[in-house]
Structures are given as structure tokens and as C-alpha cells.
Amino acid sequence: MRFFPLLWAGLWRRPTRSVLTALCIVTAFLLLGLLEGVNAGFAKAIAEAHRDLLVTRTRVRGGAPMPIAALATIQSIPGVREVTQRAYFMGTYGDPLLKNTVAALATDPAVFFQLRPGLVVSKESLRAMRENRSGMLATPALLQWFGWKVGDAVTLHSQILKTDGSQDWTFSIVGTCDSVKNPANAYFGIINYSYLDEYRVENRGTAESFYERIADPAKAVATAAAIDSIFANSSHETRTQSDQERAQFQAKQLGDVQFFTNAIMGAVLFTLAFLTGNTLRQSIHERIPEFAVLKAVGYSDARVLSLAYAEALLLYLPPAALGLMLARLAAPLAKEDIGTIIVSPAVAMSGLACAALLAFAGAALPASRLSRMSIVDALRRR
Amino acid sequence: MALPAQVLAVTAANIRSIPQRLGNSLVIVVGVAGVVAVLILVLTMFVDFRATIQGDGQPDRAIILPRGATTEYEGSLSRETVAAVMNAPGIEHDQHAQPIGSAEVILVAPVARKVDNSDVNVTLRGVGGQYFIMRPELKLVSGRMFRPGNQELLAGASAGAQFAGLDIGNQVRLQDGDWTVVGTFGGGNGSRDSEVIADALTVMSAYKLDAFNTMGVMLESPGAIASLREALSRDPTLQVDVRAEPEYLATASAGVNRMLQLVAYSVGSIMALGALFAALNSMTSAVAARTVEIATLRAIGFSPSAVAVSVLTEALLLALLGAVLGVAVAYLAFNGTTISTLGGAVWDSQLVYSLSITRSVTATAILLACTLGLLGGVYPAIRAARSSIADALHES
């Protein structure tokens, strides 16, 4: 701490240069923080996804739905705690113009919400669904979109034919449910499977997917295989995945885009290393005589060197921290288009470590020249 | 001396002295090169993605979707609807007097990326018999057409290059067992050869589907869409939207498109800001290092504006050098690279496209580089022109 004023004075010897270099570092770490935050967002989504929750879908998408009778067979597999089915309902509200499509999941709400930790629902809403077969739970976003409120009865026109020959399905909105992570983009409803299945003409007694919770997450793969074997060699072969596997799959879909994030980060780091390395080189080079004076009054080589390195750190770390902080503030702005960007403490730490590394690397070359120079030579340059 | 001659003389002197302050001058060059290379990369990803999506849009083709559907895969068109649309006015007929159109089902087929063997989806499009007549830009490249009734596929050339298991003779596991790849097709500038196609009715019977998802028709002329739209809107049993193909494609894949655009512009502007600071830094140092020299020039009669313009010129030249370096790096590193990402006809199916750096992207990047050089030079130039001769000379 004793040396802080000395370091500080060193930095402010050429204020324009130091400030501009610092601004370079701030912008570079703003960008690095955001890009690394994108990667961290994916990693977190994968890490947080449950390993004990499985989803069974038809192996080939769009394939024939699975018979609901399989529910009991799945339930009987050792290790399966709870299971529920889901079918899909789609309809349009009012004048069938653009953007008035309503999607609803037909399921057994009481079990479904236990198996989908990403969704929240109140006990009252669940009870209301139990008491009203034609009930619907809607997300607040959906309610707002159509100007609906709890208590309304809404009629949706669907391609799904009803047993009475009409295609108009009426549901009463009995409560709400919402997505924990992304309420702004959650536009859907939940309806009772039993109601849909009783009145639909086609695909009766089938489900498009099953959701399961298993007792031991470590047995996820074996249990998934056991479930898939029920449907093997049928017209509706299935593929069961844990939520975690599914999150991994989704991240991979972005494909080469992630590779390019890394390429950009590499380019930014290289450019930054060059720019700031030049500043450090100039700064130390200009002050060789000053360092020589320090040596002449008895400072050891090691101490002079550590002063040079400490100054480099002082130049890098605060702007890097500021850049990462800005990245943290900016991250939510991109949520809707890019997804979750997480500038977590871990991202910040790796960013700062990176800054320290750049500081050391940038100062190493001029500092080594400094330590090799004899006091006499150094002073003569004055 | 006239101003231009003065500027020339001072600039030449500046440039001759660059080797003595090489490190400092290289800061502008490398900084600008970094920005230009990254900017070209992100802009190319965005521009080429959009160009591929909208690539083969023809105003004399129309896409017909169920009313309210915004994507090809989400809605359903019954066989009756398809038949009614085909008989509507405004649609071009082939030499057998058959209306030219293709009713299609859109599904996905699981494949593995060759690069890292990861599981992804390609669009599986069940198409009508006139698909290739409606899309003359597409051609069978090798093998033969699929035969309706057999579980056979044609793989798009881009898809085949990017994903494993799509060569002729390969089996792809779909509904109702294995489907054989019997040929490949390519051509056009669009997204179609990122897909695999099969006979629509064969796909529908295998998947037990009784409706199509989308249909395309060839119009008699771009203007004929009005009469087609008018005729279809008169029939209350037909709930469909008619859009010209370019209009439909402009809205397709809006999500990924917006994401790439946001990435391109935010990455580009943040990097440009950083490079601006670097350029300012570099030119300020350059001027500071030559305080005495500049004061001497002014003392012997060079005008302040000649000094200022020469500093600007130097900044501009260095930035241009950086731009050339950046463009060269970008071309060497990724021009012609084929990449795949989300953006196919289904929300999670892949679009394959190759990065080809366009002239306008290069021009944009070079323009930005020049702007950076000029902006970075302005403040140091003014400072150089305004410095007091006496003070500067006294300093030495």
C-alpha cells in the first residue's frame, strides 16, 4: 500500500494515454463479458436442468402419437415415481387473422405441474381445474394479449373436430399459471386432457408425450431405455431424454454460431493484447531513468520489477472490472433475442484473471529489459 | 507554398518517420484490422443468412398457408383446401394443362453434424410431383428421383455436405422404418438444399397424417396473385392466407435473423468504440512524440491547417492499411466456410449456408475503418495545429 501513490503517479504521468488505454480495456471486457456470458447462459441452463425429470416423445417428430394405455406400463417400471401424459391443442380466438393462435397443453394438471419445475401455479388454480373439466389455466401474458380475465369463457376455433361435429371449443378460464424464467414470452394455456380426449374425434386415447419423475437421477439413462423399450418396434417408437440431455441438445442446435463467438473472443483478446502491450512498453520505456534512480537508492531488482508489474495490474484490473460490470448491466437487454446471458461471478473472475494475464504478459518484455539494464546505462539515457 | 503542397510535404515527412515509432503506428493498424476482420465476420454471418433465407424468392410464386399461420410447419391444409386452391384462377399451367403447384408436409429428420457428430434436425419436406417444375432453379444432381409409394429420399447438396448419412444408398431412420437416400439435388441460392425431400403422400401415409402444412404455386405472372387472393377469399370454407414468395420469406426465420443482426451490430459497434480509443491513443502519442518537429515546421512557415490535415492523412492511411490487413485476414480465415445453424423451415431444423464475403460488407468495413481513422485523428490534429510554437520549442 505504501507504494500506491508511486504507482498512481506513474499511471497519471501521461493521463491521455492512460485514460484511452483504460477505455480500450473497458470496451474489450464489456464485449468479452457479454460473449462469455452467452456461453455461461447455455452452461447454466444445462447444469440446472433436472436429471430426474424425463420426457418421452415419439422418436421421429410428427410420428403417430402414443397410446395412453402406456401410462400404466410406464408407471410400473421400477424407479418411476410419477408420470403424466400431454396432448396438444391449438385454436384461434375470434377473427382468424394473424397472431391470434392459442396453444394449450392438455394434461393432468395436478401431476403435470409437479413434473415441470419451470412453471408455477397456485393451489386455488389447481383446485379450480379439478372442479371444472372444461377449465383452462392461462399465463398472464396470454390473458393480456387477448384482454381476457379469470372467469371469462372463451371459444376457440380449432382444426380438431369435436364429437358434436363442430370445431369450436369453449373453455372457462379458471386461473393462471406462469413460466418462472421467461414470463414475458409465455403465451399458452393448460387444459384438462380428460376433457379434450372425451370430445375429440381423432387421435382419441393418445398422447404426444409423457413426463416422468424418477427416484434416482443416476438411473436416468437406464430408466429412459426401459421406457423406450415399451414402444420398440411399434409405429410409435419413442425417445426418452432427461431435461438435462434436452438442454444440451438445444444448445447444440445453435451449431457454428458458438464456434464463432469463440473466434471473436480470440480476435478481441489478440487485438487488446497488442494495443495495451504497446502502452505498457512505452510507459516503462520512458521511465527507465526513473526506475534506475530507484535502483540507485537501494531498491532491489525484484522490487523494481514488482513495481512495474503492479502498475500494469493497476492499469488493467479496474477498467476490466468496469467493463464486466457494464456487461452485467447490458446483459438483460438482449434477453428476448439472444437468450439468457449470465455475467456471473465466475464469468467475472475468469475475465479478471484474463486481464491479469494480459497485464503480466504486456509488462514482461519491457520489464525484463529493465532488469537487465545496468544502473549506469539507464541513468545515462536521461 | 500552397496548402496542398504543404500538406504533401508534411505528410511525406510524417510517413518517413513512421519506422522510428513503429510500435505506436502499428496500434492503429492492428486495432483497425481486428475490428474490420470481426465486423466482416459478424456482418457476413448475418447478411448471408438473410440472403440464403430469401435467396430464391420469386414474385411469380405464391405460398399459401392456413389463415393465421406465420410459419410453414404450424398449420394444416386439408386435401379439399389444396384441391380448391389448385383450381383457382391466376395459377400457371404446365403443358398437360395441369396447374403448377406443390402441397407439402414439413417434418424434421434427425441427423448428425459431420464436424462434431452432434445430433441436429434437418427439415424433411414432403413435396408434390411438380416440385421441380415449380422450382426450376433446383436440379437433380446425382442419383434418381424418389418413386412415390417407396420410402425414398432426395438429400439437398448443402445438407449432404454438412451432415453425415445423407449419401446415396444411406438409410435414414424415420417413421415406419428406414428411408433410403436415392439421389441428391441442388441449385439456387436459397435454403432449399439444406433440406431432404420425399414424396408428400408417401410421407403422409407413413406418418398417418391427413393434412398438408403448406403449399406453393406458380403464378401466371406476379400480378396474378391479386386474382388468386380474391378468388380464395370469396370461398368461406377456405381459411388461407396467400403471400408472394419473397414476402413470405422476408418474415421467415425472423427470430434467428434478429439475433444475428443484434449480434452483428452490437459486437461491431463495441469493437469500433474500442478501436476508436486505440486510434486516438496512437495518434495522440504520435503528435506528442513530434511536438518539437511540428513546432519547428510551423516556425518556418507551414500553416496550422497543413499540419492538421497531415495528421489526419496519416491517421487515415494507417487505418486504411489496417482495413486492408483485416480484409485479408477475414478472407483467408473464413471466406467460403460452410456453417450450419438454426434457421430451417421448422423452428429447430438447421439451415446450411456458406460464408461468402460480399463487396458491400467489405465496403462497409473499410468505410468504418476510414471513419475510425479520421475520428481518431481529429483531436490530435487540432491539438497539433493549436499548440503554441514557443512553448513547444521551449520544452526541448
pLDDT tens profile A96-142: 655 678 889 999 999 999 998 888 899 999 999 999 999 999 999 99
Do B206 and B308 share a domain, yes or no?
no
CB within 8 Å: B175 and A20: no
Do B259 and B111 share a domain, yes or no?
no
Which residues does chain A have within 8 Å of residue B208's beta carbon, measured at their own beta carbons? 64, 235
- For the whole model, what pTM was predicted? 0.81
CB within 8 Å: B68 and A34: no
Which residues, numbered 4 to 23 in chain A, qualify as contacts with chain B under a Cβ-Cβ cut-off of 8 Å?
14, 16-17, 20-21, 23
Is B246 part of any domain?
A: no
Spatial separation of the C-alpha atoms in residues B335 and B316, rounded to whole Å: 26
Is B245 part of any domain?
A: no
Is B243 part of any domain?
A: no
Q: Work out how many domains chain B is built from and give that number.
A: 2
**In terms of C-beta density within 10 A (0-12 exposed, 13-18 middle, 19 or more buried), how is residue A43 classed?**
middle
Say which DSSP state B125 is in: E
Chain-centre distance for alpha carbon A269 = 23
A380 vs B: CB within 8 A: no
Min Cα separation B93/chain A (Å): 30
| Set of cell numbers at residue A21 | 488505454
Which residues does chain A have within 8 Å of residue B33's beta carbon, measured at their own beta carbons? 271
Do B274 and B217 share a domain, yes or no?
no
Terminal alpha carbon distance of chain A: 29
| Residue at a domain's end among B238, B273, B303 | B238
Do B113 and B206 share a domain, yes or no?
yes
Which residue range(s) make up the domain with B305?
A: 3-54+255-395
pLDDT at B343: 78
In degrees and rounded to multiples of 5, residue A183 shows phi and psi of -60, -30
CB within 8 Å: B174 and A60: yes
Do B114 and B215 share a domain, yes or no?
yes
Spatial separation of the C-alpha atoms in residues A276 and B191, rounded to whole Å: 43
pLDDT at B305: 87
Which residues, numbered 231 to 270 in chain A, qualify as contacts with chain B under a Cβ-Cβ cut-off of 8 Å?
235, 249-250, 252-257, 259-260, 263-264, 267-268, 270
pLDDT at B181: 95
Residue ranges in chain A modelled with pLDDT below 50: 382
Do B215 and B90 share a domain, yes or no?
yes
Q: What is the pLDDT along chain B (396 residues), one digit of tens a residue?
A: 678 888 888 888 888 888 878 888 888 899 899 999 999 999 998 899 888 888 888 999 999 998 877 788 877 888 999 999 999 999 999 999 999 999 999 998 888 888 888 788 899 999 999 999 999 999 999 999 999 999 999 999 999 999 999 999 999 888 777 899 999 999 888 889 899 999 999 999 888 788 899 999 999 999 999 999 999 988 888 888 999 999 898 887 777 788 888 888 988 999 999 989 988 988 888 888 788 888 888 888 888 888 888 889 989 999 999 999 999 999 998 888 888 888 777 777 888 888 899 999 999 999 999 999 999 999 889 988 887 787 777 765
Instruction: Count Cα neighbours of B198 within 13 Å in the Cβ-side half-sphere.
Output: 28
pLDDT at A99: 61
Do B268 and B140 share a domain, yes or no?
no
Min Cα separation B59/chain A (Å): 22
CB within 8 Å: A256 and B278: no
Closest partner CB to B340 (pick from A23, A24, A255): A255
With CA atoms as reference, the chain A residue closest to B114 would be A255
Min Cα separation A258/chain B (Å): 10
Is B366 part of any domain?
A: yes
Which residues does chain A have within 8 Å of residue B240's beta carbon, measured at their own beta carbons? none
Picking from A311, A280, A307, A278, the residue whose alpha carbon sits closest to that of residue A293 is A307
CB within 8 Å: B340 and A271: no
Q: Is the ipTM of this complex over 0.85?
A: no
Closest partner CB to B281 (pick from A21, A28, A263): A21
pLDDT tens digits along B359-383: 999 999 999 999 999 999 998 899 8
Is B247 part of any domain?
A: no
Do B90 and B225 share a domain, yes or no?
yes
Min Cα separation A253/chain B (Å): 6
Domain boundaries of chain A, sorted by first residue: 4-47+254-380, 60-236
